[in-house]
Amino acid sequence: MRLDKFICKSTEYALVDALALIENRRVVINSIIATEASHQVHKNNIVMLDGKTLTPRPSRYFLLNKPIDTICSNVDEQYPSVLKLLDVDRVTELHIAGRLDADTTGLVLITDDGHWSFNLTSPKNKCEKVYRVLLSRPISADATKRFLEGIILQGESKLTLPAKLHIIDSYNVLLTLTEGRFHQVKRMFSAIGNRVKSLHRQQIGNLELDVDIGHWRRLTHAEVEALSIHE
């Protein structure tokens, strides 16, 4: 973790204050005065502020059922940020692991653990995300095969990774992806001549959405572990 973040996670100081503390030579790492806010702090480093050892607060992990017309961003834009729904302290320290579009509903994960969210969203991890899709036209007979083989999205040259399609009825399907390209679900259906009318993420890995729309809960330790990669 960067030194300035480490200071914020261990104290009540904001990022700008952390920078000032470093500039004023009040922060020491392994007995050497720190000068760079971007310095990477490793697990066995001892970081001191004014002679007192800093210990970061444990990371936080939340699951939230995103309503329509909210955005997965830390700041409000045309619509309010989903973080507005999360009534916890120090919301500005949190970020969303794997965004959904404003008109998509469902499961979003929120954390202050950058390493965990990076691994979770990396296609290398092959973490499955399950989307329920309502289509504007009946699903075509060859869709399952085409998605499994991978397709080229408009403006791209690399095949999509194999995706599983489960047909509920001709307009309702479940699509399971292991990557998260920009507007991927909508663009995949557009590439096969269909259109997504509504989109809902219902599962990430083994984690199923189990709170009502607009509500949230903390992940258990076991759930956090199950979504972690162990290198």
Enumerate binding residues for ligand URA (CB under 6 A): 100-101, 104, 183-186, 199
**189 membership: H or E segment, kind and range:** helix 184-191
Q: In what order do the strands lie in the sheet with 32-33?
A: 32-33, 27-29, 47-49, 52-53
Whether the CB-CB separation of 64 and 110 falls below 8 Å is answered with: yes
Question: Smallest distance, Å, CB 125 to ligand URA?
Answer: 16
What phi and psi values does residue 168 have, to the nearest 5 degrees? -85, -55
Per the residue annotation, which of 87, 89, 101, 142 is the catalytic one? Answer: 101
Question: Smallest distance, Å, CB 106 to ligand URA?
Answer: 9
Q: What share of the chain is helix, strand, coil (3-state, %, to 5)?
A: 25, 30, 50
Question: Smallest distance, Å, CB 180 to ligand URA?
Answer: 7
Nearest CA to 191 out of 206, 204, 175, 214 is that of 175
Question: Smallest distance, Å, CB 104 to ligand URA?
Answer: 3
Compare residues 26 and 183 and give the one whose CB is closer to ligand URA.
183
Mapped onto helix, strand or coil, the DSSP state of residue 226 is helix
> CA-to-CA distance for 132 and 203, rounded, in angstroms?
9
**101 catalytic, yes or no?**
yes
**200 membership: H or E segment, kind and range:** strand 196-204
Whether the CB-CB separation of 147 and 186 falls below 8 Å is answered with: no
**Catalytic annotation, residues:** 101
